[in-house]
Structure 1
Amino acid sequence: MNWGAVVAIYKFEMARFFRTLTQSFVSPVISTSLYFVVFGAAIGSRIDQVEGVSYGAFIVPGLIMLSVITQAISNASFGIYFPKFIGTINELLSAPLSFLEIVLGYVGAAATKALFIGVVILATAALFVDVVIQNPLAMIAFLLLTCLSFALLGFIIGIWASNFEQLQLVPLLVVTPLVFLGGAFYSISMLPPFWQTVTLFNPVVYLISGFRWSFYGLADVPIGLSLLAIGGFTLLCLAVIWWIFKTGWRIRN
């Protein structure tokens, strides 16, 4: 394992993040505050509690998941797409690096950025509501796995994309709606039986449910299924990336 190369890629990607640190810090704080104003005040005035938890506190895990997932995808996709766009990816591919080392550098940096955003949102939420974390180790594990798995997805999107518009296509039209419909701001037990069944086909439900369980001990699906879902998704993304580098799809032409 060429750790020097991994660290070089990681530092290069993180340097871009630190150049816009103020924007990276202020943006999630403002957006989280707006979510609490809109959802906490408007909806929270009509829904006092959800399964014994105040509505404001109930939506905190969903808010964190929403931002972490979108940030992990966007950072990883842009990180690998930009070398394709300017042509420097050829230098990367000709260097004595394995696909694993390249992925570790780019995905590790994207996951770190998403983790930072998640911590910022958690700290911001604590200013509005009392946040209780019953299972801190499980919370950290779910957060890290989510950052890693969706950074891998973003890496795949960055290789697939042919222009900057396509970089935003999947996050905006697929991932964000899945998060909103995956119980980020409500419990799926509040839905009619038919829609509860339909919602269970949404993979994001399992992530949000497991993450919320680590806070309040509440889960819409068994915690084992949540772990199985995120573990399987991570392995699937790794398999796709391995195939991409083996065949050269979208990177060698």
Structure 2
Amino acid sequence: MAMNWPAVRAIYVFEMSRFLRTATQSILAPVISTSLYFVVFGAAIGSRMTMVDGVPYGLFIVPGLMMLSLLTQSITNASFGIYFPRFAGTIYEILSAPVSPVEVVLGFVGAAASKSILIGLIILATAALFVPLRIDHPVWMLAFLFLTAVTFSLFGFVIGLWADGFEKLQLVPLLIITPLTFLGGSFYAIEMLPPFWYTVSLLNPVVYLISGFRWAFFGQADVAIGVSLAMTLLFLTLCLAAVTYIFRTGYRLKS
């Protein structure tokens, strides 16, 4: 069956229009927060820890800042995007329309990933105001940016279907993803940790995402780039499997 691209475009455009209506807030928030991170971490801590693995500390934290925002924004945008149609009841209009599950996911997840990638690039541009950027592998940087945004937008889509209240929408990003990101080497190399905590850190899945992303910038990573890419693709596969299960069973969609 041919893809219903007009339907995908309609969902995508509607979701993006919500972002554009609050463009000032959506753009200013990451710019201000990134600036504050550079003031606190780059200036205060960076003055005492000037280099990490041969990279100036202010520059070293750029991939971590981008990944922190990318993960939380992807999940938040996608979860709220699908939750509100469920909350308002308009999800049934979508389900009864001649639109396949693939097209629904493409529309919602595509919009959420687009927003997250845009914000990630805004953070990168803001970082350029504070430090001279260095990206050794720009193609891989964009690839990791895209894969991470899509993967966690799918994850957010699942959360938006699972949540039965606004509190649960914030539960995973605030209580799970953000702490894992801070403990995943966003602002330090995990090899700086004692051996025991280094081993514990390897159990944190976000470590592999940040490590691969940082390798794209500096050619250095806490774990092998192949492992980071494999873990990213594994997360993507698991999220796709969860979305497929939801549409096959109608979980939280038909009740």
TM-score, length basis structure 1: 0.99
Percent identity, aligned pairs only, is: 67
d(CA) in 2 for partners of 1:236 and 1:169? 20
Matched letter for residue 100 of structure 1: V
Match of 1:59 among 58, 61, 80: 61
In structure 1, the residue matched to 2:4 is 2
Which residue is equivalent to 1:77?
79
Paired with 1:94 and 1:34, the residues of 2 have a C-alpha distance of 47
Q: Deviations over 1:97-138 (max 9, x none)?
A: 111110000000000000000000000001001110000000
1:42 aligns with 2:65: no
Q: Which residue number in structure 2 is paired with residue 233 of structure 1?
A: 235
Aligned-residue CA RMSD (Å):
0.5
1:188 aligned onto 2:190: yes
Superposed, 1:1-253 pairs within 5 Å as: 1-253=3-255
Gaps of 5+ in 1: none
Once superposed, which parts of structure 1, at least 4 consecutive aligned residues long, lie more than 2 Å away?
none
Cα separation, 1, equivalents of 2:44 and 2:174: 24
Deviations 1:26-83 (A, max 9, x none): 1110000000011112211210100100000000000000001111100000000000
State the Cα distance separating 1:96 from its structure 2 match: 1.4
Q: Give, as a single letter, the amino acid of the residue that structure 2 aligns with 1:247.
A: T
2:67, 2:31 → 1: CA distance?
15
For 1:203 and 1:68, how far apart are their aligned partners in 2?
A: 15
- Amino acid aligned to 1:189: E
* C-alpha distance after superposition, 1:132-179 (max 9, x if no partner): 000000000000001000000000000000011110000000000000
Q: How far off is 1:95 after superposition?
A: 1.0
* Secondary structure of the structure 2 residue equivalent to 1:75: helix
- In structure 2, stretches of 5+ residues that fail to align are none
Number of aligned positions between the proteins = 253
CA distance in 2 between partners of 1:51 and 1:191 (Å): 14
